[in-house]
Amino acid sequence: MATYIADRVIMYTGTPAVECVAHTPKPLIEGMNNFLKMLNITFRRDKETYRPRINKYESVKDKEQKEKGIYFYYENL
């Protein structure tokens, strides 16, 4: 949902219920790339509906995006 309404995001890191670090707000693409890289997941946008889609782990698209360092792919920005 954040990708539809936000232009900046805040990423939190740490151990749940133990320790938390709030990082400075980052532009949407940079923040989403950092977050998804931490989770080792890549996203793309569906070309017809523009809905976010998770790439299958180790798929061709997943590997291509990880090689480029692009975990969040959004053509229309």
Which of 29, 58, 25, 54 minimizes the C-alpha distance to 42?
Answer: 54
Q: Quick one: tokens of 19?
A: 């320790």
**77 has pLDDT over 50:** no
Residue range 42-50: average pLDDT? 86
2 pLDDT band, cuts 50/70/90, is: low
Residue written as token pair 């890549």: 42
Percent residues over pLDDT 90 in the chain:
64
Determine if the pTM surpasses 0.85.
no
- Checking 13-16 for CB contacts under 8 A at 24+ apart, the result is 13/38
- Give the pLDDT confidence of 67-76 residue by residue, as tens digits: 999 998 766 5
pLDDT band at 1 (very low <50, low <70, confident <90, very high): low
